[in-house]
Amino acid sequence: MSTYQVPTMAEMAANSQTPEVLFWVGCAGSFDERYKAVTQAFVKILNKVGVSFAVLGPEEACTGDPARRAGNEFLFQMQAVANIQVMNAYEVKKVVTACPHCFNTIKNEYPALGGNYEVIHHSEFLQQLINEGKVTLQGGGEFKGKKITFHDSCYLGRANGVYEAPREVIKALDVELVEMKRCRTKGLCCGAGGAQMFKEPEPGKKDINIERTEEALATGAQAIAVGCPFCLTMMTDGIKNKNKESEVQVYDLAEMIAKDMGI
């Protein structure tokens, strides 16, 4: 038996190899204790399916999204131009990422700075694998028959119109998908977008993630599925705040698929 492989672009280039797809891990996927598990789950799926992929590893840097949303265009462009230089040097054609913020930035904002790639979110990638029969699910495993709700992240949904791919992935698990009062185009933000992840909220009567968590709990779902590292943090904090962590779990889509595959 072999171990899981995580090739870097540098290693592949040294062997004159070019992967089909670059897995853009993102800062949360690299450093956030909780989200590292999502990165690992996704890498395991890629290994299992035999996708030709590589990561940038230490050569990756923040896309610059939070700097741009906080108004610091210089810093954003410094990050973006440096990343584009690296990706163009490796002749990257296709990028997959588990972070909707990275997804949006690389897909929509890098072209103006000379970075043109086919960019897809991991929910779309997983859906393709399922549709192509490359990922065969065991019928839900621990999720079978459970009520699960999906929280739309703004940068996937409204920002880029991806609403159905994550839902198709969840449905493939043979679970009962229940929708929150506000979903799809009307989905409520978790509160972390626009660089809010990196500062305390302005004074108000409630935190946004609490409002959203209440909506999720109102569905009676036993798990909340997300497709974004910031949403994962915000919803997990919300569940803790409501003392529901023993009853309701928050998962990323890749984790749910990996669990079902038994990896």
Q: Which residues contact 8 (CB under 8 A, 6 or more apart)?
A: 54, 55, 56, 57, 58, 59
Residues within window 44-63 making contact with other proteins, judged by CB under 8 A: 44, 47-48, 55, 57-58, 60-62
Q: Does 70 bind other proteins (CB under 8 A)?
A: yes
Residues within window 12-31 making contact with other proteins, judged by CB under 8 A: 25, 27, 29-31
The one-character DSSP state at 182 is S
Q: Does 166 bind other proteins (CB under 8 A)?
A: no
**Dihedral of the alpha carbons of 6, 10, 12, 18, in degrees to the nearest 10:** 110
Task: Give the chain's length.
Answer: 263
Binding mask of the shown chain, residues 202 to 241, with x at each position contacting other proteins by CB under 8 A: xxxxxxx-xxx-----------------------------
**CB 87, CB 19: distance < 8 Å:** no
Of the listed pieces 33-41, 88-96, 140-148, 244-252, which binds other proteins according to CB under 8 A?
A: 33-41
Q: Does 116 bind other proteins (CB under 8 A)?
A: no
Burial-class residue 56 by CB neighbours within 10 Å (0-12, 13-18, 19+): buried
Of the listed pieces 12-20, 128-136, 159-167, 244-252, which binds other proteins according to CB under 8 A?
A: 159-167
Q: Does 159 bind other proteins (CB under 8 A)?
A: yes
Q: Is the dihedral of CA 228, 107, 90, 22 positive or negative?
A: positive
Q: Which of 138, 193, 168 is nearest to 253 (CA)?
A: 168
Q: Does 128 bind other proteins (CB under 8 A)?
A: no
Min. distance of Cβ 18 from other proteins in angstroms? 20
Min. distance of Cβ 77 from other proteins in angstroms? 4
Min. distance of Cβ 154 from other proteins in angstroms? 4
Min. distance of Cβ 261 from other proteins in angstroms? 8
The one-character DSSP state at 85 is H
Q: Does 1 bind other proteins (CB under 8 A)?
A: yes
- Using the rule CB under 8 A, which residue among 97, 104, 127, 249 binds other proteins? 104
**CB 119, CB 66: distance < 8 Å:** no
Min. distance of Cβ 2 from other proteins in angstroms? 6
- Using the rule CB under 8 A, which residue among 12, 49, 51, 75 binds other proteins? 75
> Rounded to a whole number, what is the distance in angstroms from the first to the last CA of the chain?
14
